[in-house]
Chains A and B, each alone.
Chain A
């Protein structure tokens, strides 16, 4: 993930804010200048990430005001992320487990254990 292009990372950060409920439908998304300052990433790069979110129906533009979260943004992000879940998370996990000599049973029990012990829950994590 760390090697994703910057505009993809910015897009993911905004999606994360929506997934965790910190940005709700019709909330205003931070302005591009705010994001340039925050991420210290070029304006064009920020716009590229935001334009992708517009194209995917996750945020929308109100002329002269700014960008806002679409009503069904959460569903769209979840759908898209589910499609990439195996390649982005499961495969790296399985590969690392293999490199470390972690058995199949051990891996499954580690996952169950982590699920129980994890105390961090985003607002939408259980709905």
Chain B
């Protein structure tokens, strides 16, 4: 570790054991993570899990109650240079904004030196935005598109999107996803996407952060996370026998066929044993894993306990 350290890239941002409390409510509880340059992060969690709070910390919109936040190695709070490295994009209320789309984007270009106004105007056109319309005249989906364009064209090394694309229609979301991929490939920018649209956005994520009740349940490369879930399908008796000593997180029955989702990396011997008894093993999707790892344990009908140890 010591000899290779100097060749490793420095993290763009880190959260060091941060906690955030609102009165008696714990929004985040000792969360530590490190945002590495050039990756696309998926931040997923149920409503109230703490996603927006986590993003607000990275963007210096608030300070943690405990622990520390670093951007490029130091506290970004009230440090203009460090704060400008991070761009936080969220759906904001623009119902009384009379500025036009074009004025809004030009305004962004004035206060962010890396803002690419040509890219912004091109994206605005491709999102179908009328640049002469005032923001208050736009539909919610179109307002989201303006926010998305601001973030995509910001040039910020670390760009945080908080459910920004949720109001957009499917073609617009597709353009949003493609532009993120293009920006990452062309400039090495880093993105964190908080989203509930897990299955459709999953392919973007290099690294997945799953927040649950204010704690970081998972923080790992998507392929590593997906190896933790396997769906075993086949004759119900054989499935039951195979899964008896394993952690079952979902259980489905269709006549004589059972499909059981297991939590835990399957060994090669396990796989061979499953195949020998005619069972089919398929990787679980991110959405499936997310659903079953964050649902209340008592919603399980049978099978193993719901103790998840991500370590």
Contact = CB atoms under 8 A, between A and B. Distances in A.
A31 B178 contact: no
Interface residues of A, number: 15
A33 B182 contact: yes
Interface string A12-36: 0000000000000000000111001
A42 B204 contact: yes
A112 interface: no
A100 B25 CA distance: 63
Interface stretch (A43-51, A67-75, A113-121): A43-51
Nearest to A6: B283
Interface residues of B, number: 18
A42 B206 contact: yes
Contact of A36 (B203, B221, B222): B203
| Chain A binding surface, main DSSP class | helix
B206 A43 contact: yes
Contacts of A87: none
A48 B223 contact: yes
Contacts of A45: 223
B206 A44 contact: yes
Interface in B282-296: 282-283
Contacts of A32: 185
Given A33-B181, A36-B181, A41 B223 contact: no
Contact of A44 (B178, B185, B222, B280): B222
Contacts of A62: none
A40 B282 contact: no
Contacts of B178: 37
A68 B73 CA distance: 39
A64 interface: no
Interface of B: 40, 177-178, 181-182, 184-185, 202-206, 221-223, 280, 282-283
24 contacts: A3-B280, A3-B282, A5-B283, A31-B185, A32-B185, A33-B181, A33-B182, A33-B184, A33-B185, A36-B181, A36-B204, A37-B181, A39-B203, A41-B203, A42-B206, A42-B222, A42-B223, A43-B40, A43-B206, A44-B206, A44-B221, A44-B222, A44-B223, A48-B223
